[in-house]
Amino acid sequence: MATVNKDFKVKHGLNVAEGGTFGQAVVVGTPTENTHAATKAYVDGRELLVAQGSTPPSDQNSSNGELFIDTAENRLLFYYNGQWNTLALLNDTIEIAQHIHDTSIGGTGLIVSTFKDAGFYNEAGAEEDAGFYNTNSWAATYDGGIATEVYN
């Protein structure tokens, strides 16, 4: 049977065992099963549904890239590499202490210095006695090390 430049109507489904090539777009109906094809317009028009609750799904039921809304903490979590990770919000940066990571060649990337807020000069209770020019003992000290110690 010659099949070149022929139009076919398939009554009970088409089974292509070794793949196939189409010269133009393929029109498909709305998918109703997991194995059904879908058009780009169908996929683009779908809403993203994200699971939510007070506890994320167990690790064995999760896969990389999965999202979860933690309704107890009002946080968005994503699953990657065997664990649920919380996305930080812009407001979280206010809560994160200012710090420096060891980014030197061969550095560990760990935090090497943390900055503390000393308050304002006119803040109640923020005034400290610095002693005299020869004072060598203070109530509180913060030592971040010397640059040559930390970064070389």
pLDDT digits 0-9 by tens, 96-122: 666 676 677 777 777 666 666 655 555
Lowest-pLDDT range of 32-36, 44-48, 148-152 = 148-152
Please state the rounded mean pLDDT for residues 86-95. Answer: 71
| pLDDT surpasses 90 at 92 | no
Please state the rounded mean pLDDT for residues 35-53. Answer: 87
Instruction: Please give the mean pLDDT across all residues of the chain.
Output: 75
Secondary structure (H, E, C), 77-128: EEEECCEEEECCCCCHHHHCCCEEECCCCCCCCCEEEECCCCCCCCCCCCCC
Assigned domain for 33 exists? no
Q: What is the pLDDT of residue 18?
A: 80
Assigned domain for 119 exists? yes
Q: What is the pLDDT of residue 48?
A: 80
Whether 103 and 152 map to the same domain: the answer is yes
pLDDT digits 0-9 by tens, 11-30: 877 777 787 788 888 888 88
| pLDDT surpasses 60 at 151 | no
In 3-state terms, what secondary structure has residue 142? coil
Backbone angles phi, psi at 114, to 5 degrees: -125, 135
Question: Which residues have a Cβ under 8 Å from the Cβ of 66 and sit 6 or more positions away?
Answer: 51, 57, 78, 79
Q: State which amino acid sits at residue 6.
A: K
Question: Which segment, 66-70, 118-122, 135-139, is predicted with the most confidence on average?
Answer: 66-70
Please state the rounded mean pLDDT for residues 51-72. Answer: 90
Assigned domain for 80 exists? yes
Of the residues 60, 86, 112, which one is the last residue of a structural domain? Answer: 86
Q: What domain range includes position 136?
A: 97-152
